[in-house]
Structures are given as C-alpha cells and as structure tokens.
Structure 1
C-alpha cells in the first residue's frame, strides 16, 4: 500500500527536513502548474518515468521548461536501450503514484530500489525545489540538499546529470 502524504511528511519530519506545502486544485501538467508562478518560489519540476527494453526504470526530474531528448537520453542515464514512458501500472507499483502526481518524493514507496533517480544538474542549481507530495493537489518546497538527503534515506542514491536543455536553448 503506497504511503499517504501524511506518512511522507512524518518521514521528512523524522529526518529533520523542513518543508513548506501549498495546497491547490489538481495540477495534471506543467502548463497547469505554471498558474502558480509567483506564489511558490524555487525550481519547479517536470518528471519523466521511463523504462528501457530490459525493464530498468528511471525517474528523470528536470526543470519544468527543460527539454529532454528521449532519443538520446538513454546514453546519459545508463539505460540498456532507448527508453519509452513507463506504464501507469508500473508507476503505481514502484512509486505509488498516479500519472499527474509524479514526483521524486515517490521514492518513499520504492522500497525495493526498482527505480533509478536522475536529477538534472540545471534543476539542482536551485536552492529550493518544488515537487508534488504524492498528490497533484499540493506542491511541496524542499531544500535541494534536503531532497538528496531524503532520497538517500529511502535507499536511492540520486545521480545528478546534465540530461536536459533549457527550452530557450533550442530556439537559438
């Protein structure tokens, strides 16, 4: 049974990690969440739940406006082949999340370490990172270093890699 947001917050509290959470109507896309800009400071995320042909799973988290080349990202993240999006059933099984609620905080539910966590270095330049707390009806602001500490406490050693290009880099 996946953890609830309250169980997540209790775990963060046990780790001494302070977060700030804002509730809001459900947000299903980056475009939906951009309506909150100005209200919530920090780096905002886009999450890609990916799999390769050998059923290795990856959660790639980048800045909301970054672009990830799905044809080549496998060479950066250590996938055995080109990647595709993981099915919603696997997202629920491994991270306890529904589409639209994907978040690095879902690592709390991946007790068997089935998902490799990749954090884009562009995102990690922000002191504060904004993520869904297992639901798309809230946004939680967490310190960059605290996010890494949380992931390690769940048994995940996140890899910080340059996997994305800012959206404006493609316009040049």
Structure 2
C-alpha cells in the first residue's frame, strides 16, 4: 500500500485519523525541522531480525526513547538481534528506509513480523508514517494494534525503559 491506499484502508475500516504532511524525513533527528501536530506521540520504529534471519520484529517506541537491543532480546528470550537489511524491508513490508511504520505490517503478506509496541502508547495517540516518509498519521494506538492483529501479525505491548 502506498500513502493514498493507506489512507483509504484506514477510512474503509472506520479509523479516525489526522494527517500531518511534511517534507521527507529519514530519521528522528530530521523531525526537529518538521511541524507535527502531536510531537510527543511520534513513534520511532526499528525493523530488526535475529542472527539467523528467521524472525523479524518491528519495535515502536516514543521518539525520545532508546532501545537496548541486547537487553530487549534477553527480556523476551530472543536470539541476537540486528537491524534488518533494506532488501528485507522492501521484500517483507514493501517499505524503503526512512518510511518504517507499523502500517507497513499491512503489507506483510506472510505475517512474518512480530510487532512490539511501547506500552506508553496504549490508550493514547501514536504518530506513524502512512508507508511514506512525507507524512505522519495520528491515530489511536489501540486501534492500530487491533488493525495489525486483525491482519494476522503477532503483537505484544511491552514496557520499554527510557
């Protein structure tokens, strides 16, 4: 799904959302120059894989948080983790670097990616790209989780420390 198809998907599923259009951003540092409606709820998204390239994960956290992958893997009983390749990102979620988003899981036809959402988002807004890094979609995080679960991807809401 491209950006417009993502918006249409959300409308078709009765999802209330708001959009902030902006220049393309490729990392969290570039967001400082962008005017966002709800910057405190913007998500940072990490697409990672295990060392055997058998399991893929998407971790979404508040933008001001860091994720210690070693501690994360130990806490959840996972193998050694590293960032997935651009090719994996394109092949599995149909995304390019800088556009990583939980909405990309809707492109994951094989439901390979396990989604981990920072518990701070539960019951609140979340800002994610609509499969394109020239906009941010603001929607209820619980609604996002339900969309992803309905699609068939595994989802866990987890406590991630600052």
Secondary structure at the residue paired with 1:122? helix
In 2, Cα distance between equivalents of 1:54 and 1:111:
21
**Residue 119 of structure 1 corresponds to which residue in structure 2?**
117
Check the 8 A contact 2:113/2:154 in 1, yes or no. Answer: no
Alignment correspondent of 1:4:
2
SS of the residue corresponding to residue 98 of structure 1 reads coil
Q: 1:10 to 1:77 in 2, by over 3 A?
A: farther
Match of 1:43 in 2: 41
Deviation at 1:124, TM superposition (A): 2.8
Equivalent in 51, 54, 58 of residue 53 of structure 1? 51
Contact 2:129 2:137 in 1 (8 A): yes
Question: Where does residue 170 of structure 1 map in the other structure?
Answer: none
Moved over 4 A (4+): none
Of residues 123, 129, 134, the one that matches 2:131 is: 134
Q: For residues 60 and 119 of structure 1, what CA distance do their matches in structure 2 show? A: 6
Point out the more displaced range, 106-115 or 141-150.
141-150
Runs (5+) with no aligned partner, structure 1: 167-172
Deviations 1:118-148 (A, max 9, x none): 00112336x1110000011001001122111
Deviations, residues 41-77 of structure 1 (Å, cap 9, x unaligned): 2511111111112321000110101111122211234
What runs of 5+ residues in structure 2 fail to find an aligned partner?
none
CA displacement 1:8-58 (0-9 Å, x = unmatched): 122111211011112111011111113336x41251111111111232100
**Residues 149-160 of structure 1 correspond to what in structure 2 (within 5 A)?**
149-160=146-157
Residue 165 of structure 1 pairs with residue 124 of structure 2? no
Q: TM-score, normalization: structure 1?
A: 0.86
Aligned residues: 160
TM (normalized to structure 2)?
Answer: 0.91
